[in-house]
Amino acid sequence: MNPVRPNRDHSRRDRPERAVNRTSGRKSSFGSPVRKSGGRPSFGGNRNAGGRNGGNRSAGKNGNRFRGAKIDVSRFINKAREMEKPRPYVPQYSFVQFGFSPELTKNVVEHGYVTPTPIQDQAIPHVLAGKDVIGIANTGTGKTAAFLLPLVEKMLQTRNKKAIIIVPTRELALQIEMELRGFVKGMGIASVSCIGGTNIREQMRNLRNRHNFVIGTPGRLKDLQERKCLHMSEYSTVVLDEADRMLDMGFITDIKAILKEMPHERHSLFFSATFSPDIEKLVGGFLKEPVRISVRVGDTAASVDQDIVRVIDRAKKIEVLHDMLSKKEFEKVLIFGQTKWGVEKLSNELTKRGFKSVSIHGNKTQGQRKSALELFKGNRVQIMVATDVASRGLDINDVSHVINYDLPATYEDYTHRVGRTGRAGKTGKAITFVE
């Protein structure tokens, strides 16, 4: 296999964090502890912590990551409860009442959209009015359509307008582009995807062609900007999606460099699942009198049965995982590791043991990541082992279990990992290994 030239947007991603494995007095219902032995971690451990790959460049400065802080593992134990029927949200609008052009309304209806979600209902009118927006909403609540639909409508009215959408991961960029293509079918509105792991020269050629939308990851966009192929002065609208994740991944410097070159008079939209002081500081510098919308609910899904598994002997950790995965109920399992090296090693070991497993992390080419994702989505493999690139934005149906083989670096990371299961009214299970 030919080596892939590293590029900025995944050279920073998936860097290992120093997570401290501490335990509380609460007991897990899984197995019994085994004795501790010395030596380095066998599979999925933080091989490089403290080495050249150790730590996140934004740790400490942003305060979103921690090193050496105690993780309260009791927060990883929570029985799923019967979902109380929430008071139904009564939208102010239907999609046909937003005043979209006939072409866009037709495509929206073909998508099966009838009733807007809360974030769509509240954000779309303000985006159509040209106001800056801060939208805080959980993953999976329809944020993408909340900004795409009104921006497409604006493009139909003013064809020379351009918008740039910045996201933390390649998968999310491709998912947004796919949704955009469905909305603009037959309209002559073009988009360019600018992500790492793919041919940058092809992206450079595409940027020279007429287009209305650019969707990309910060590192690749910055690279294209430095090559004089992406001229930010041409883009009058910017969207930051999953902005909290981009800050966690250390993209703050690239984002600021990109925004600095944009016109002073611009339309800025900001969507995130959380709103920390660091994010407040970031948006304060580039949003003008924004409308604030928050429809976020809860931390972790009530439909997810959460528990921990205590493993004292690291050498036995893979055996505990093997025994779990051999059980019939572990039908479609998403396993999270901390490092790219550990994730690849764990996936290979599971394959050797007879499990159908694929991996996804920042060292994979985009083609490899896409292939792995399609195999897992299509139920052709039982297991996908991933770094946190798979914890947000990916729409994967019927994940029966999420297993945190390595502890997440923050509780926010935990909630996003766990959010991959227990979706669409189903009960999911999340298991966290604690050493």
Q: Render pLDDT for 171-217 as a digit per residue (tens, 0 to 9).
A: 889 889 999 999 999 999 999 999 988 899 999 999 999 999 999 99
Angle (CA) 297 301 304, round 5°: 170
Report the 10 Å Cβ neighbour count for 285. Answer: 9
Q: pLDDT category, 297, cuts 50, 70, 90? A: low
Q: pLDDT category, 35, cuts 50, 70, 90? A: very low
Asked if residues 289 and 134 have their Cβ atoms less than 8 Å apart, the reply is no
14: left (phi over 0), alpha (psi -120 to 50) or beta: left
DSSP structure string for 371-428: HHHHHHHTTSSSEEEE-GGGSSS-------EEEESS--SSHHHHHHHHTTSS-TT--E
Measured distance CA(386)–CA(384) in Å, rounded: 6
pLDDT at 427 over 60: yes
Q: pLDDT category, 253, cuts 50, 70, 90? A: confident
Whole-number pLDDT of residue 343? 95
Q: Mapping DSSP to helix (H, G, I), strand (E, B) and coil, where does residue 136 land?
A: strand
Asked if residues 197 and 4 have their Cβ atoms less than 8 Å apart, the reply is yes
The more confidently predicted of residues 276 and 328 is: 328
State how far the alpha carbon of 135 is from the alpha carbons of 82, 290, 297, in Å: 29, 10, 13
For residue range 71-84, list pLDDT tens digits in order: 677 777 776 655 45
Helix (H) or strand (E) holding 281: helix 277-284
Cβ neighbors of 295 (< 8 A, separation 6 or more) are 117, 118, 119, 122, 135, 136, 137, 138, 141
Q: DSSP H helical segments within 24-70, as ranges? A: none
Measured distance CA(406)–CA(403) in Å, rounded: 9
- The whole-number average pLDDT for the span 213-232 is 95
Lookup: tokens for 401: 């279990």
Axis-axis angle for helices 218-226, 252-260 (nearest 10):
50
Cβ neighbors of 385 (< 8 A, separation 6 or more) are 335, 336, 337, 343, 344, 346, 347, 350, 357, 358, 359, 360, 405
How buried is residue 191: exposed, middle or buried, by Cβ count under 10 Å (0-12/13-18/19+)? middle
The more confidently predicted of residues 341 and 393 is: 341
Measured distance CA(300)–CA(415) in Å, rounded: 5
Q: Could you tell me the domains of the chain?
A: 13-82+302-434 (3.40.50.300), 95-294 (3.40.50.300)
Lookup: tokens for 364: 């994979």
